[in-house]
Structure 1
Amino acid sequence: MAWTAVLTACALCCAVAATLAWRRPERGAARTYALGSGGATLWCAAGAGLSTATDLRTVAALRLLATAGALAVAAGAYWLARTGDAPHRRPGPLDLAVLVLPPLLVLPALAANPWHQLLYTDSPGAAGSPDRWADGPLYPAVVAALGVPAGLSLVHLARGLVRSPAVYRPHLRTLLVCALAVTAGVVVSLGRTTADQHVDLVPLALAAASLVAVRGMLRREMLAVLPLVRTQVLEDLPDALLVTDARGTVVDLNASGRRLLERLAAPGAAPDPEGALGRPLADVAPFLPPLSTTTAAVGAQVSPMPGLHLDVRVSTIRTRRGVVAGRAVLLRDVSEVVERRLAAESTSRRLADEAVRDPLTGLLNRRGLHAAAAALPPGAPLAVVIVDVDHFKAVNDTHGHDAGDAVLLVLSAVLADAAVEHLPDGACASRLGGEEFALLLPGLDAPAATAVAERVLAGVRAASAQSPLTAAVIRVTASAGVAAAVGRPASSLMRDADAALYTAKRAGRDRVVLSGDGAVDGAVAGAVA
């Protein structure tokens, strides 16, 4: 009777532990704790009944309940060990086999034992044995079905203590101590049980282990960074949340985080967001800036792929003693806001560019030319070439204004080619108005600028335009004035180049005239004379 009271007390302790765990469903492993403690309750309660039962049917029912409880304890221990360092692990094929096969094989066989008596017999055991029922030939199979998940749980817990991030080790250590306590109870009970004496310390070990494990879940912070609390708010948070330990290893992520990693998976690769757990954050999310070890909060914006812009907020998680335990990385998708801002900036740049561009040719207009000249360093060599189409009014009168626009486009292409391909940085072409164009040539002296002007006029002679109305081929020539100096402003050189242009027009057109003394070439000098 005394042993029955002890077993009953153990069952009550396990029931209290199971109830406490079940009433805290927000804890990540609470259901598993409740399963293990509930199984221990069933095991101890059935053991209390077996200590006094004499009827075969009663013994059969109690043994079935005790074995079901033992299987629940083994399954709970195995799954706690598997999820000790990965709270959101999903069972794989091997896990399902370890968890499901033992009860599927053992419980039906045990329920049918009164008919086949292969697991235990109704032959009375040794005198004085509280059990009073002998084990059958297949009873070792029941022990193996219990021992496999229990043994695997010890292996996973020991390996987790070595390989898992430091934040999980207190949790794993608590589980390992509880598992070793139950294992020790089993070993001592088997070693001290004889034909004349039956010693069963397993219920005492189960009661102690259940209370210690559940107390640790409820009152201790088993995980310094990732408590077992997984509120629905965090899981349903629209922002991606990644949690790391102090070494930068990913220990948790919410649903949005898993979706983000799936989206960022390499083309052709199978998305595996759960595979991020236990890996360095730098490998999981290489687009993130290095996490600060001193700042409490860091903000940044990253673009891991075209069209995806993330606002990054990093918060340092500290223990009550102020020790850095890890970091929470919050990633908010701000793509819509960023894309709108980029579109607005692009529109602003386009409008600003249109304000300094000629709408017909795409070259700089007079305002754009003055802005480019103002940006040049003072005191440097500078040359200006002004080009004007010869007899342009006749082109408009003969072929129409559309044909005139075609001629202007030809000339603008020649000037743009000269500015882009043959000239130093800072050179630009512009349309001043009508048929008059200009080249700004920083760094060139008078001979070099004159050579550029000659190439431009040669390009105009070689080019041709076509009338949009009559399809007639139109060929034109142009005249150019050049001015060059060191340290003079562009506005002054433009006036001189404009004067040289008119000299070229008066001298017969289709020629280049350099402003200043000796500026008129031989042909111009002869014409003036």
Structure 2
Amino acid sequence: MASGAIPLIAMFLGAGWWALCYAVPLPELDQAERFLRFRLAFPGIVLVAPAILVFSLEYTGRKNQAAWRFIALLLIKPAILLLAVSWAPLHDLLFGAWRGRPGDGYFKGGPLFWAHTLYDYMLIMIGYGLLVRHYLRESPLYRRPVQLLLIGMAIPFVFNVITVLHVIPPGIDITPIGFAICSVFVATAVFKHGLLVPIAREKIIEAISDGVLVVDTSGCIVDSNPAAHDILKGDARPLRGRHLKEVLPQWTVASGTCDGENERTEVFIAGSDKYVDLRPISLKDASGTLKGSVLVLRDITTEKNTAMALEQANQQLRAQLFAIESMQKLLREQAIKDALTGLFNRRYLEETLQRELRQAERTGDPLAIVLIDIDYFKKINDTHGHACGDAVLQALGAMLLQKSRAGDLACRYGGEEFVIILIGTSHQIALQRAEQWRAEFAALSCSCNGTDISATLSAGVAVFPDHGREEGALLKAADDALYAAKAAGRNNVKSAIAENLAA
């Protein structure tokens, strides 16, 4: 067997076991299973770093240094660590206070864990240094396999450092993904040296829960793992040899390869009704020539469905909030509006008139009020019925709304009486406006129960501050003017000034 084959297989066996133990999604496990799953990964974890060092020694021609005695010494630390994993009295030393309980937070580790981590990092760095030294001493013609080894072995190391230092969200270990990518580089490199590694590739690629596709520059799939087939299952045919357009027609990169690291893409797989997070990674040789791509597929159907359900719930909540706001607006309208005419009610008039009088007093602007009463309204009710009387009231309310300015406030004062507040309006203009309303209403004909009903109105006009500075005084002045209009024969407009002069 080629030099370095056994430790390389051992390294991928350990990484494969590591990946296999993390294949079960963490949220689906209870407390005991979380802790057990974590401990079960250690036989694979402790094997990786010594295997890398022994492989580096054998691969760089130092096979004598990798004798069984040396290997036995390397296995002392894994044996101690596995003892701590399996023996409960040492759990605090290795795991700290973490036991996979919901309140434990993310794993921080005890002193033994960090000693193990630093020791493994040291072994990996020594092995990596041997490979770097070998690379620098090699002829440029034979550097390519070593270069692939260096790139491949750096990926899981960096991924592990990212995981241990919690650069990514706690509870996620991306080291097995690093080994999956590493296996592609290592396999390419060692095949040129006659080293047989299909077993190692199977252990790491097939154990990983994410789908992995290896695609050449023409877009043809040259390798895949079972997870990829499960995610993309549309039929029973194998993925290898098929074009990516056939398997993933939804992906926008038609050739199936990418020059550089493309952004992650979300793809819906119609054949399996799954949402997939697709991450392409380019494969280039030493000269920078693109040789293909590795596509990592992660099933995000559960997360996507949860997000869509949340969005649907948010839409329903927004609809409910809109309904509540509409109801509140309606209630506010009902509190200040007269239900029959749609004008403001007496309560709103009293609140507003007092406020506008204070404002007019501060600014010195004029303010007029017009008090309107429908002539012979009782006779209309007695002759035609209250429904027709209501129709007449509605007709007057509609006319006042139509003929009022944006700043005017038309209110139903009570019964057949109406009050219009004219903000910033002089006495003369107020009289003209009241006369206009009188004429408009006299020309109206209201149809009720097949009968056309006509009516007239009388109005009294009072102006601040000439006829009163307070709400009561001003309304009293307008009421006196209204009675003067009634006394003058109705269908008339009178001013409080004219009434005062008459007195």
TM-score with structure 1 setting the length: 0.45
TM-score by length of 2: 0.47
